[in-house]
Structures are given as structure tokens and as C-alpha cells.
Chain A
Amino acid sequence: MRQCSFDVHAYDEEDDAIVSADDRCVGCQRCATYCPTGAITIRLSERDFRLNANWRPEHLMDIKRQAETGGVILTGMGNDKPYRIYWDHLLLNASQVTNPSIDPLREPMELRTFLGAKPDRLRFADGRLLTELAPQVRLEMPILFSAMSYGAITYNAQLALMQAAEECGTLCNTGEGGWPRDFRRFGKNVIVQCASGRFGVDFDYLNQAAVVEIKIGQGAKPGIGGHLPGEKVTPLVAETRMIPVGTDALSPAPQHDIYSIEDLSTLIYALKEATNYEKPVSVKIAAVHNAPAIASGIARAGADIIAIDGVRGGTGAAPKVIRDNVGIPIELALAAVDRRLRREGIRNRVSLVAAGGFRSSADVIKAIALGADAVYIGTAALVAMGCTLCQQCYTGKCAWGITSADPVLAKRLNPDIATRRLVNLVKAWSLEIKEMLGGMGINAIESVRGNRLHLRGVGLEEWELETLGVRGAG
């Protein structure tokens, strides 16, 4: 009964019975998981609305709530609407007869990935490299943890992500809400964000990190800013964001010093000057209709990494209408961006990181075959820590201690267990990627990068195959 943070259960003394307010249940499964007698089962409640394929219960409920409040409807996590998921229509190749497959259990398999600008050509003299190389960061596998701010997720959740990134040899992104001082020791495994609110962005913040990312947009809410409500600005959040306790933390929709590609370039080089050209600078955009042209501009503006977040990308809080209707799927955006940069001969100048709803190692390797250098995982990482996708992150009542604002609830996440689970997930996916690579007769992830010949489409229209640059199966 005490497990529920949404006040579903109550004890009625008179009747000596537990009563449930079913309409408050968000389906987070906390009570069912922790029920000592296994007595709780959560079922989707029967709707009392008359069935209607057009006016579905969600529409009716939303309209009623807005009629009551006059407010914007918020939600958390990624788009839950049934848009086509292209990963489910792309199948991988394997070797048969003509090219032997490789057993990753006895052969070395290379997943190591370097993010950063690569030179157009290398020049040597007397066996010495003359070309000056741009800064690179090394990942032991092409999987990074997405941007999740302290404040949106709990201290323990961010600690677990950073510990896991360090142990796996990959990177974890602080998000735009600053970087708690205690976590600076993970600097080699941390990407810091410079976003429209510029929270906590100072010299130490930029220079302690491995990568600096300019956040232009997010897949769950392209083109809009964010408001961390004052009640969530606790003393430690205030210190991390460097704002007074209890004030709203506003992230304006645009960064007001970036109104053009030229302005973006100015900020990219400001950050490079501030970090003595020692760190790659990433630019993260939401996948939108004109992503290829924008990506070309970003590459030419001097970015070392472009991160693209698709329409299924998660969020701690976003207006539902934006999350569910703005942006395009990562598969199409990634393929189009990769092709555009290749055609322009500038693909080597940037690394591409894809984000937005990666559910399995198969999604990851398919993204790499479509041109990604690496992928960001956010939702999958949260699920590894205990998240059940109840989409209530913005309420601060997370029953699993992941996005909870209440310190008592936040204690429910044991950071060491969460770290272990994250490391296990990344290890398992890495192993599966090696198996799939081996099956293709390939021993390095580099060989499948942008190699669409390893993909075939099923159940896709001609235009979709063309955008993806993939041939139909058979």
C-alpha cells in the first residue's frame, strides 16, 4: 500500500479493507512487483465510453481535462503513438557459403568507436604523420547514454549512469541542467550540454568534460523550450543550475545567440576557444523535415559530432501534443542525413549519433548500417534501472526513484544496483552486436557503418526504401 506514490490504495478502518482508487493508477507496476503475496494484478480498466475509432478514449479524456483546466497537457517518456517503426521493417544479412561467418567467442571483434571529425586525407613525411588530427573521444562500444538532466532524473539515477559509463568505457550526457560537483570525477566519461538556459555552464563545466554538446533540440519536443517548475528547484538543483532556490528554471525555445548557421558556428568556436580546441563539440538537433540540409550546415559550421534525436525520443516533461505530432522518425532522418553528407563529400568531418527509441541491439546495428557512428540510449537505460514507461516523469512522483522529486521516493533507487544493471545491459547488447557482426562475416563495427547492403526492407513502400537507401528483400 505504501509503495504507491499516486495515492491509489487506502485502508478503510471501518470495513477493515484496502480500497483502491483505480482511476489514479498509472500502471507503473510498483505495487504488483513489491506485493509480498503476489495478490495484485493490474489490468487495463474497461472504458465506459462507447467504442469509436475516431474519437478514442484518450481524445475524450484530454478534452474533458482541458475543458476543466484550460491548460496544456503534459506527458513524459517518448511518443507512444503507432507511427511506423522502420527498425521492424529492416532485416540484417548473414553469411552463407561464400563468405564464412565469424565466431565472436574465438575471434576478436572490434566495437571500438572514435567520435570526432576525421581528416579529408592523411599526409605523411618520413613515416611521420603531418596532418593535424581533430580531438577524438574513444568509446568501447557504439552506445552512449542520452542527455538526462539532474532535476529531471534523481541524483542516484544520474550517478548510476555516470558510474556505468565509466565502467563500460562510454559516455553519459548530463543534459542541460548543470553537472553536480560530486560527479565531476567522471569527467572523462561525460558529455556536458550547452543549451538555451546555459544552466551551470562555466569554465570548469566545459573543461572537465570529454565532449561539449550544443543542444538545439530534442526529439520529444522539437522547437520548444522547457520550464523546470520552481518547486523542483531544491537547494542541490539550484546549486547545480546556479539559480536561486524555488525559482522557475526557464529554457527558452531557441538559444538567443543562435538564429542562423553562422551564429551556430560562432558558438561552436566560442566553445572550442573556451576549451582550447581539446574537445569535440557536438550539436544535437531533433529530427525534423529539413534535417539533411541543417546537418550539412552544422558540419560546415565546424561541429565534430551531430546528434539527431528522432520523434520517438524520450523526455522528462513535454506537451503531449508536441511529443506525439512533431518531428520525424530517426530511421528516415538518419539515412537522409548520412546520404546528404556523403554526397557533399563532408561525411568524414562529423560523427553521427542517432537517438530516439532504440529498444534492442538489433535497432543499434541497423542504425549503424544506416550511417550512424553510435547511438544514444535513454529510455532503454531507464528501463534497465527499473522504469516501466508509465509516462509520469513530469509529476515528480516516480515510484521507482528514477525521476522522483520527493527525496523519500528518490531513495528507492540503489545507485550501485542500477549501475550493475546498466553495465549488464550494455554488455549484453555489445555481445549481441558481435554475434550479428560475426554472422555477417564482419569483425569490426567500422565495416558495417553506413553499409546499407547489409540491410533489406520488408513491407515498405518504394519511397521509403529510397529514403532509407535500402533495397527490398528478395
Chain B
Amino acid sequence: MLREDSALSDRVLSIDTSGVYYRDLNKMLREGVAKGAREFVLRGVTGQRYIGTGLVERVSIKIFGTPGNDLGAFMDGPSIEVFGNAQDGLGNTMNSGKIVVHGNAGDLLGMAMRGGKIFVKGDAGCRSAIHMKEYRDMRPTVVIGGTARDFFAEYMAGGEVVLLGLTLPPGVRHSCAFMGTGMHGGRIYIRGAIDPSKLGKGVIIQELSEPDWETVKARVAEFAAYFDMDAGAILSAPFVKLCPASTRPYGVLYAGRN
């Protein structure tokens, strides 16, 4: 079902996606992988959903335009780079792989993510990085260059989120409400000031320890490399860490035996 104007050469498949239905586009990607393509260049992307979903090979996908919801949902391996903005559900329940967005992301970024990395240059919407979890060497990472909206990193159970606030005007604090509500694992690092009244229940602010700094430095260095920024300048501002007050936030909710 590959279109005739799609060119596969040197294992690079270039597709003009304008007017292509998402189901057909994703089928082209799966067929392309089966035929040996290892890199995809998608041009004219206009809202096609689920790009990268159902791919387990370590292919790379460059997207020019605006991909639709659930980009990289349930993804397990590919690297995606978006030259534009991403919509809702970016990296939903993602298992491994990498997504780099040269723009903003919508709601639900990295929801229930279990592994892999997401880097967003700009801002993220509501409910970003919620219910991320980790297991052994699978540790999801999200770095957001700008700020996020409400319900940021709720129910966090594992992995790490770095919120850099680079899009905030000087002196303006992150304004997302209910940050980290129900957090019971993982680490949230925030650059710049936050208003403690915006924190969710059960979350406390801490200073960064030495290992925390190492993690932040490594993530920021990777972030800065993708977007051609100065890591040193980003790291020169203060960071705080959000931690769960308990790994058993709901342990005392119940009465004893019936």
C-alpha cells in the first residue's frame, strides 16, 4: 500500500503525508519497516494519529508538520523527532524509545509511561507525566523545556520528570496546580520557583542531593544538545526536587478486618 510517490532509498523512506488517512499512513510505516526501511521522513503531517504506535523496531521517524493525538502510544523502540508541535497523548503508555519535540506538547504527555525518553522544547498541557512508573532498569524520563499546566506529574510512581521553565518570563513562577498529587515514587526536578500552595497533597519540596544533580545535569545536557541550547546557562539557575511524603499515600485509609 506504499504510494508511488514514496521513495525508499538507502533504507530511508520519505512520505508526503498530506491527505493520507492515519490508518493508511501507519500501515505504510509498518510495511516500510517490513521492507527494511530504518528511517522515515514524513512531510506535511496534519493531525494523523498514532504515529509510531505498534512499532517495536529501533527505527527513526522525522515528522514535519503537526502529528495528531497519541503520537508514540504503546511505542517500544523507535526514535521520533517532531519539527512542529505535538498534540495530546504524546508517548501514552510508552515502553521504550525516544521522542523529541521542537515545539509544544498537548495534554497527557507521557501518561503511564514505563520507559524511554521524551524531550519537549516548549510547554506541555494538563495532566503531563502522570502515573509514570519504573521497574528495574526501565526508568522513563521526561524533560519539558517550558512549563506545564495543571495536574502535572500526578500519581507519579517512578521515573523522572525535569521541568525547566525556560518559557516563563523572568520572575514568573510555574503555575500548574495540584503538582504531584498522589505521588508515591519517582523524582520531579523543577528549575525556577514554584508556589508551595500549588503542590498536591502528600508532596514535599527538597534540596537536590549529589546523585540528583548528576541526573539533572545529564538530562539537561541531552536536552540542550537536541535543541542547540547552552546547558551551562540552564543549569545556572536553582532547582528543587519534589518527593512523595510516603510511598504508601493511602495506607491508612481503611478500617481493619470485617
Contacts and interface: CB of A to CB of B under 8 A. Distances in A.
Interface stretch (B48-56, B205-213, B232-240): B48-56
Interface residues of B, number: 48
Interface SS of B by simple majority: loop
Contacts of A242: 114, 133, 135, 138
A202 B114 contact: yes
B255 A275 contact: no
A275 to B, nearest CB: 7
Contacts of B89: 257, 266, 270
Interface stretch (A30-38, A64-72, A284-292): A64-72
Nearest to A72: B254
Contacts of A391: 258
Contacts, number: 137
A242 B157 CA distance: 11
Contacts of A275: 54
B111 interface: yes
Contacts of B74: 201-203, 206, 270-271, 273-274
Interface in B38-62: 49-50, 53-54, 56
Contact of B50 (A197, A203, A206, A273): A273
B90 to A, nearest CB: 11
**Central interface residue in B30, B76, B158, B256, by most chain A CB within 10 Å:** B256
Contacts of B158: 243-244
Contacts of A203: 54, 56, 74, 76, 95
Contact of A229 (B49, B111, B127, B251): B251
Interface stretch (A104-112, A152-160, A247-255, A358-366): A247-255
A239 interface: yes
Classify chain A's interface size. 35 or more
Interface string B113-132: 01000000000000100110
Interface string B222-258: 0000000000000000000000000111111111111
B66 interface: no
Nearest to B76: A203
A155 to B, nearest CB: 19
B130 A256 contact: yes
A447 B28 CA distance: 42
Contacts of B253: 71-72, 227
B35 to A, nearest CB: 16
A198 B53 contact: no
B114 A270 contact: no
B111 A238 contact: no
A71 B255 contact: yes
Contacts of B30: 276
Contacts of B134: 243-244
Contact of A250 (B73, B88, B250): B250
B257 A395 contact: yes
B191 interface: no
A1 to B, nearest CB: 20
Nearest to A227: B250
Nearest to B93: A198
B141 to A, nearest CB: 16
A276 B155 contact: no
A415 B196 CA distance: 53
Given A242-B138, A257-B111, A274 B255 contact: no
> Of B92, B135, B256, B258, which is in contact with the most chain A CB atoms at under 10 Å from its CB?
B258
A325 B74 CA distance: 36
Contacts of A266: 49, 69-70, 89
A465 B60 CA distance: 60
Interface string A88-103: 0000000000000000
Given A244-B134, A247-B184, A256 B258 contact: no
B190 interface: no
A136 interface: no
A274 B111 CA distance: 16
A244 B136 CA distance: 7
Contact of B93 (A201, A247, A392): A201
Interface string A6-20: 000000000000000
A269 interface: yes
B67 interface: no
Given A257-B92, A266-B70, A247 B185 contact: yes
B255 A256 contact: no
A238 B70 CA distance: 27
Given A202-B76, A257-B111, A270-B50, A230 B69 contact: no
Interface in B75-94: 76, 88-89, 92-93
B182 interface: yes
A74 interface: yes
A75 interface: yes
Contacts of B162: none
A192 to B, nearest CB: 12
A278 B164 CA distance: 42
A73 interface: yes
B112 A198 contact: yes
Given A256-B130, A257-B111, A276-B54, A248 B247 contact: yes
A256 B111 contact: yes
A248 B255 contact: no
22 contacts: A198-B112, A201-B112, A203-B76, A230-B251, A238-B135, A242-B135, A243-B134, A248-B247, A248-B248, A248-B250, A250-B157, A250-B250, A269-B49, A270-B70, A270-B89, A270-B92, A273-B26, A273-B49, A274-B73, A276-B30, A320-B258, A395-B258
Given A243-B133, A256-B130, A270-B49, 16 more contacts: A26-B258, A66-B255, A72-B254, A198-B131, A202-B95, A202-B114, A242-B114, A242-B133, A243-B157, A243-B185, A252-B155, A257-B89, A266-B69, A270-B70, A392-B257, A395-B258
